[in-house]
Amino acid sequence: MTTNIYGKANYDNNSGQLPQLTFFKLRSRDPKVLSLQARIAPPIKDLAEKGTWAVYVKTHFGYRIKVTKKDGTQVEIPQTFVCPEQRDRTGNITSDCPECNAISLARSKMDTEKKRLEAEGKTAEQVTAGLRSYSSWLKNHTLDKKWHMIAKSQDGKWGYLQISHSLKKRLGEVISEMVTKSGGKLDPLGPERGVWFHFTRNDTQKFNEIDDQVKPLMEETEPGSGTYRYKFDSLTDSDTAQIDKLPQLHELGKRLSYDQIKILVESFGDEQIVRSVFQVAQPRTSTETPAAAVAEPTEADEPEAVETPVVPEPRKAEPRKATAPSPDDEVAALEAKLAALKARPPVNKSTPPTPSPELVKKVSEANDVESFLSLFDAK
């Protein structure tokens, strides 16, 4: 078996700020996947030297594009990106994120408005109605925080396992206990004699009552013996071939520049700008059926990230060859499109759009996040 892509897992320090792609995860609303068994891979390739086998990822949701399926129906596909916010060891922000700033400002304004409505003696129903514009926006603009690792499912397929921070902490405790009991001889994620793990979630739809657990999977040493041992797994050449084809953890997800995220925030989710920022082609204008089928959307409450082309790095000019645009040129082009959209006259429709034309006009005149969110203030 070829094992040159593997490294020894570091069980003491395995954090990182890397993007995500998820295939296997526990869900609170699907009883069929409240339990799963997984064989976690050791550190691979570029992460092998540091022993990194799991990474903590923060992913922003809130922007979508419409895609027409072969049967003519339209579905909305979420366009996600990795949060660029960075903090030091004391928790102070060293690099901020425009989307996080918008979320923080919306929450602050919502709290202020709630206090005002309550001070006026409004009923609970009236307070809820008065805060609906804030709560609706915040519900769509979420920040998903999960740990990710490469893992194999029971059917032998390799993908990406996503678990919560609390479950990752429990997993670390279980692994440490296994290593200690073996006197350091056992490597639970090692390629030669790794261990399968059993993840479970209690059957509840209430977020604050969710309880995730993990333990090593056990099997009988002999059928009917009544004695059990860990269920071990040695990686085969087939496993190695599958893992070798997977994108590395630090090569996944969509990373946007600060200015690109700022343009998204100020665009009010305009689809043309969203497509430009994420470099997604405009939809077909003809009535012909597309040749390729469109993937079905994931659950509305837990949308999956959709991979999009990575923004190309600027290249040196070559004779008689077109060069890739620089990041500044791309941002300038996006800003020009945003300005063009602001200059467009309102379109009359038989059914009043949501938000109202007056709100759209006000949004078009907004030049920053604070101006945009101030439009939700009750008048």
pLDDT per position as a tens digit, 122-139: 999 999 999 999 999 999
End-to-end CA distance of the chain: 69
pLDDT reported for residue 305: 39
Query: What's residue 4's pLDDT?
Result: 66
* pTM, full prediction: 0.67
Domain spans of the chain, in order of start: 1-258
pLDDT of 284: 62
Q: What's the chain's length in residues? A: 379
Tell me what pLDDT residue 251 has: 75
Predicted pLDDT at 374: 52
Distance CA 61, CA 82 (A): 9
Per-residue confidence (pLDDT) for residue 203, from 0 to 100: 84
Q: What is the pLDDT of residue 290?
A: 39
Closest CA to 107 of 376, 301, 379, 366: 376
Q: Are the C-beta atoms of 170 and 213 separated by less than 8 Å? A: yes
User: What is the full per-residue pLDDT of the chain (379 aa) written as tens digits?
Assistant: 545 677 777 765 444 333 333 357 787 677 777 899 999 999 999 999 999 999 888 999 999 999 998 898 999 999 999 999 999 989 899 999 999 999 999 999 999 999 999 999 999 999 999 999 999 999 999 999 999 899 999 889 999 999 999 999 999 999 999 999 999 999 999 999 999 999 999 888 788 888 999 999 999 988 888 899 999 999 999 999 989 988 887 777 799 999 999 999 999 899 999 999 999 887 765 444 433 333 343 443 343 433 333 333 333 334 434 444 455 666 666 677 677 666 665 544 444 344 444 544 444 444 444 554 555 444 4
CA distance readout (Å), 329 to 82, 278, 316, 332: 22, 15, 15, 5
Q: How far apart are CA 135 and CA 263, in angstroms?
A: 22
What is the spatial distance between Cα 103 and Cα 100, in angstroms, rounded to a whole number? 5
The CA distance from 175 to 177, in Å, is 5
User: Cα(330)–Cα(361) distance, rounded to whole angstroms?
Assistant: 26
Fold of the domain built from segment(s) 1-258: Replication Fork Single-Stranded DNA Binding Protein (3.90.198)
pLDDT at site 185: 94
User: Which of these, 109, 107, 116, lies nearest to 138 by C-alpha position?
Assistant: 107
